[in-house]
Structure 1
Amino acid sequence: MSKKLVIKVTAGADAPERCSQAFTVAAVAVASGVEVSLWLTGESSWFALPGRAAEFELPHAAPLPDLLESILAAGRVTLCTQCAARRGIEQQDTVEGVRIAGAQVFVSEIMADGVQALVY
């Protein structure tokens, strides 16, 4: 059975520890060979834009740009359709490799066999 982890992160700079935990868990899972799908929703949506991860600061935490880069290199990053629309973010605005998709795709990912889902 293949291992897949779907992580939905709702927190951004408004809740930095929760945000950092989500990105850290996703990056560690990718490095461990787990198939990872990270969903950016709510305030974390801003990290789909170039340069925004570099603005994030949390003492004693891995740099968010490095975590995002590792997740994009071996996993999948998705920006919520509605969250993007509410913030005026369009596909051409996002970091290369980030897709925009909605609830139907999220549900299909979390309902697949062998999937574990986490929400931060």
Structure 2
Amino acid sequence: MVIKVTAGLDAPERCNQAFTVAAAALASGVPVSLWLTGEASWFGLPGRAKEFSLPEAVPLTDLLDAVLAGGRVTVCTQCAARRSITPGDLIDGVRIAGAPTFVEEALAEGAQALVY
């Protein structure tokens, strides 16, 4: 499953839903690639997920940790550049990659892509 989250603190419910679905898919044994784009790009940096709060939701740090432990997390190349985020800024295990990689993952045999 390839999940692209385009929202961050600007749309907390949509953001949290993407992370929740990613963690639930992993818990169900589904391979997951979570793409952080737009304002969600900030969650690829240490400590940023701790700033996120949504009532009645699992803490974003827990969801991100679950995805990092069992899946792949990617920050969009252009989104990172617009925010001056470099590979050295990222949480261990998070990578920067661009549209060709997203397309390759989304079109892989058996893949399901979701965008939040």
Q: Which runs of 5+ in 1 are unaligned?
A: none
Residue identity opposite 2:33 in structure 1? S
- The alpha carbon displacement at 1:77 in A equals 0.2
| C-alpha distance in structure 1 between counterparts of 2:66 and 2:28, whole Å | 12
RMSD: 0.3
| Aligned twin of 1:10 | 6
Q: Which runs of 5+ in 2 are unaligned?
A: none
| Aligned twin of 2:17 | 21
| C-alpha distance in structure 2 between counterparts of 1:70 and 1:91, whole Å | 21
How many residues in Structure 1 have an aligned counterpart in Structure 2? 116
- The alpha carbon displacement at 1:85 in A equals 0.3
Is the partner of 1:83 in helix, strand or coil?
helix
TM-score by length of 2: 0.99
Structure number with higher strand proportion = 1
Task: Pick from 55, 61, 66 the counterpart of residue 57 of structure 2.
Answer: 61
| Aligned twin of 1:43 | 39
| C-alpha distance in structure 1 between counterparts of 2:85 and 2:110, whole Å | 32
TM-score by length of 1: 0.96
| C-alpha distance in structure 1 between counterparts of 2:88 and 2:76, whole Å | 15
Is the partner of 1:115 in helix, strand or coil?
coil
Pair 1:74 & 2:60 matched: no
| Aligned twin of 1:97 | 93
The list of structure 1 runs, each at least 4 consecutive aligned residues, that deviate by more than 3 angstroms after superposition, is: none
- Alpha-carbon displacement from aligned partner over 1:75-103 (angstroms, at most 9, x marks no partner): 00000000000000000000010000000
Residue identity opposite 1:57 in structure 2? S
Q: Percent identity over the alignment?
A: 72
